[in-house]
Amino acid sequence: MENQKSRAEIILGVDTHLDVHVGAVIDTAGRVLGTLSVGTHNDGYKQLLCWAQTFGLLRRAGVEGTGSYGAALTHVLQGNGVKVIEINRPDRTRRRGRGKSDVTDAECAARAVLAGDAASIPKIHNGAAEALRTLSLVRRSAVKAKTQTINQMKALLVSAPQAIRDAAHKADAAKCVAACAALSQGTVSVALASLQTALRLLAKRWAALNDELRELDAQWPV
């Protein structure tokens, strides 16, 4: 087996996306040795790692979006002894006049590591902190959707016929939802039937989001 100490160091830069990651390898003199596009799955990450290692000793990699699109790749690289450095965005000065491309961004990521312009180490996404971050993300979206739902209900009730307003327009959100859910659809006009249907569906949505929030709160780390 070739002695790793005798191999020249190379640096990997990666431009990350939802479906495809683009990698570029440079040597310590800044010369581009190769580029490769891989799919965003375990086989693709391993392919990118093995491909990069064919050029030399891979100790450092600059990866965009280590907390989002590049999170899984970051985990694979770190698990194989590669120091991953967070690249916030392509260096616009370096790529000025060269145009925008994924290959260029990957190369810029590698050059940022080589030049020492990037030094941030990705946060570790595990444990209680990661659990809290994940639940917080989902909870915020549920709270926002729940607020939007009750606002839509009340907006419809403002211009609703007086009988429906009297029956369902309540200051308390839960009471308003219950009243809208209980609206009966008898022999009415098409417009009134549509309004009642909309209010019942919004009430059902609000109740589902309320149940979702209860489940999230029950999972909240202590």
Tokens 């000025």 locate to 96
Q: What pLDDT was estimated at residue 68?
A: 83
Q: Per the structure block, which two tokens stand in for 114?
A: 């080589």
- Every domain of the chain and the residues it spans: 4-115, 127-218
Helix (H) or strand (E) holding 83: strand 83-87
| Domain 4-115 CATH (choose: 3.40.190.80, 3.40.50.300, 3.40.1440.10, 3.30.420.140) | 3.30.420.140
Q: What pLDDT was estimated at residue 1?
A: 43
Distance, CA of 91 to CA of 85 (rounded, Å): 14
Which string of DSSP letters, residue by residue, matches 182-205? T----S--HHHHHHHHHHHHHHHH
Distance, CA of 77 to CA of 23 (rounded, Å): 13
Cα Rg of the chain, angstroms: 27
pTM for the full predicted model:
0.60
Give the three-state DSSP class for 218: helix
Give the mean pLDDT of 1-23.
83
pLDDT in tens, 78-93: 999 999 999 976 544 5
Give the mean pLDDT of 149-157.
96
pLDDT in tens, 94-139: 444 444 589 999 999 999 999 988 767 776 555 566 677 778 889 9
Q: Per the structure block, which two tokens stand in for 186?
A: 């008898």
Q: What pLDDT was estimated at residue 136?
A: 87
Give the mean pLDDT of 136-145.
93
